[in-house]
């Protein structure tokens, strides 16, 4: 019985560690977004007077695929859908951090849906 309890405790501990690391890596995209993107694109991804909303259908994956997000973050982007001016590159993010930001944006788009463009 003691051995069974020890094995069960080890399994539960292992599951707990995996769950907490998954949650931590999933939430890190949100933290990176809040730190690097929210000042222009809004903490709720609905835009500000400095930048457009990432919940717009303009940013649907079939119109702006992940590679477009990656290029905009790392190289900047010329204004082409909105009148906010050109977007400068976001400094200090590595490829993994950019991937986590994109994953967070896509997750939020799926959760909240996409808003029509042009906005009404």
Q: State pLDDT tens for residues 35-61.
A: 999 999 999 999 999 999 999 999 999
pTM for the model: 0.77
Per DSSP, the three-state class of 9 is helix
CA 82 to chain centre: 21
% the chain with pLDDT above 90: 75
Mean pLDDT of the chain: 83
State the burial class of residue 54 (Cβ atoms within 10 Å of its Cβ: 0-12, 13-18, 19+). Answer: buried
Mean pLDDT of 21-27: 43
**Integer Cα distance of 76 and 100 in angstroms:** 18
Calculate the CA dihedral of residues 65, 55, 28, 26 and round it to 10 degrees. Answer: -80
């Amino acid at each position: 019985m003691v051995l069974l309890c020890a094995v069960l405790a080890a399994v539960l501990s292992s599951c707990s560690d995996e769950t907490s690391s998954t949650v931590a890596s999933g939430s890190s995209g949100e933290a990176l977004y809040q730190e690097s993107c929210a000042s222009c694109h809004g903490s709720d991804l609905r835009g500000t007077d400095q930048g457009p909303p990432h919940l717009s259908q303009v940013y649907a994956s079939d119109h702006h695929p992940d590679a477009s997000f990656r290029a905009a973050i790392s190289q900047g982007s010329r204004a082409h859908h909105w009148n906010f001016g050109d977007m400068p590159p976001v400094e200090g993010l590595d490829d993994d951090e950019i991937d986590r930001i994109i994953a967070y944006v896509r997750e939020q788009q799926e959760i909240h849906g996409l808003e029509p463009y042009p906005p009404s």
